[in-house]
Structure 1
């Protein structure tokens, strides 16, 4: 999730553009020939990329992903799934049932709408051949932890039962409340893990966003080692600033990827940094290469 940018609006813009076929000329004007030379990936990490970070059509992103060796796109809803299927790409973290990032499962007034949205979306995710569907806690608005956990359990339990029948995993994202999403309740790993334990189902887990958790709690590798069984997906991002994940920022991603791999993780790692360089796809390719341990 980016600071001062509505990811939902960005996704809608990408999906809207995804219906148009990108011409070879249009793509080459955005991506240099050098940046799209295929990588020789090692096959240890399943690579994905978040669609909202790139101000290009979904079709263009799919073409670039295929050329790089990325096999999935994160945060795409049903309108974009045909485009992913056209290019043989997986929807690694589905999106579109949430209300927004501030109105989530921790507030009972949202439960009816969220039940309506998720009870419709879960079977759609399963029918499309996908597994993961994102959700959010919502903002605290003065709410204590116990009330937040209790309300989330009440709202999520009926949906998790539907998810179990459809072999879908509902994943609550951990977001930082220090900078990007002030007042967000599921802002630290212990809070999310406690919720996972209370729901007590293999079909409810956490999306561990490395960028967000570095900001709010740090100690990333130890956290992964101690809590990996509760994580179903990972996102990257450079700290500070959510830019490229190279030597310009404070995290050393090869070591983090080795820690993830050592847990036996078989899911996807999604690049969710916002490229600052002119050749954005070159930055994406570099990020994949850094994480391809």
Structure 2
């Protein structure tokens, strides 16, 4: 990437040309300073973690960092991604939020309609992954909620199989961030995949959430590897940068993921460190290099 383009990009981010040396010192955005990745694990970044950048700016950043994908993107975002040659590693937009999900039959009719339409949109756009949420318990026991999820998802899984789209049930912790959420354990999510019985239903294994609710992250990765289609990262506690200041050993976790033969994406979903655009970009790059096994 030439200096003129870098100047233009930095200007769009509100950074003066004089700050070029600061970017280079952080090994960020100056192309000659960005190391080539091994690429044994495909990585991406969740859109919400960089709210200070436009989607076009974030596309430029991830392209320079060599990861080539952004997570949690809906149909309105896809034209921008395609313009920049960036992949949507996890699509969204069919869900009714986190609290109203597949565990409650009162939402099945609208969810089925939404997901049948969205599966086609995802496939037609050339993408493969679409997110699901269980919904909150609201007094319902886990066994009943699991059965309801199975009944509902079975009504859309045939379309997903036909169109080559993988549906991912995300595990979220119910101890700190998402009180009452039902799909709060890898055991529950694993049972769901087993009972639906389709290779197109997978687990979105959020490492941050699993650590908070269950711990024993590597053993759970190994146990449920056949069902896991996607990962999210985040430092514990606080969902900050995945560095040595938090409790998880992400280098070891990535080695364990790679050893399972995983072929999907590991998406970074943490609040980047720093206050300036270049500091936040450097935070993401550190995570990318840490996870580049």
**Residue 258 in 1 paired to residue 245 in 2?**
no
The CA deviation at 1:33 is 2.3
Once the two structures are superposed, the pairs formed by residues 137-156 of structure 1 within 5 Å of their partners are 137-156=134-153
Summarize deviations over 1:131-188 as a string: whole Å, max 9, x none: 0000100000111111101110111111111101101011000000000000000000
The CA deviation at 1:260 is 0.3
The CA deviation at 1:36 is 1.8
Q: Distance in 1 between matches of 2:207 and 2:93?
A: 22
SS in 1 for 2:230: strand
Aligned to 1:284: 284
Q: In structure 1, which of residues 241, 247, 250 is the aligned counterpart of residue 238 of structure 2? A: 241
**Residue 36 in 1 paired to residue 50 in 2?**
no
SS in 1 for 2:225: helix
Q: Distance in 2 between matches of 1:170 and 1:120?
A: 13
Q: In structure 1, which of residues 77, 82, 85 is the aligned counterpart of residue 79 of structure 2? A: 82
Q: Distance in 1 between matches of 2:15 and 2:178?
A: 34
**Residue 196 in 1 paired to residue 196 in 2?**
no
Summarize deviations over 1:94-123 as a string: whole Å, max 9, x none: 010000000000000110110111111001
The CA deviation at 1:28 is 5.8
Once the two structures are superposed, the pairs formed by residues 147-186 of structure 1 within 5 Å of their partners are 147-186=144-183
| Structure 2 portions without partners, runs of 5+ | 1-7
**More off after superposition, 270-279 vs 75-84:** 270-279
**Residue 98 in 1 paired to residue 88 in 2?**
no
Q: Distance in 2 between matches of 1:91 and 1:155?
A: 25
What's the RMSD between the two structures over aligned residues? 1.4
Q: TM-score, normalised by structure 1?
A: 0.90
Summarize deviations over 1:10-38 as a string: whole Å, max 9, x none: xxxxxxxxxxxx86512362995222232
SS in 1 for 2:136: coil
Q: Distance in 2 between matches of 1:84 and 1:243?
A: 26
SS in 2 for 1:229: coil
Q: TM-score, normalised by structure 2?
A: 0.90
Once the two structures are superposed, the pairs formed by residues 111-122 of structure 1 within 5 Å of their partners are 111-122=108-119
Q: Distance in 1 between matches of 2:64 and 2:288?
A: 12
Q: In structure 2, which of residues 1, 13, 34 is the aligned counterpart of residue 27 of structure 1? A: 13
Moved over 4 A (4+): none
Q: Distance in 2 between matches of 1:29 and 1:111?
A: 48
The CA deviation at 1:276 is 3.2
Q: In structure 1, which of residues 38, 56, 61 is the aligned counterpart of residue 58 of structure 2? A: 61
SS in 2 for 1:286: helix
The CA deviation at 1:74 is 0.4
Q: How many residues align?
A: 272
SS in 2 for 1:122: helix
SS in 1 for 2:13: helix
SS in 2 for 1:79: coil
Summarize deviations over 1:43-70 as a string: whole Å, max 9, x none: 2111100001111211111110011111
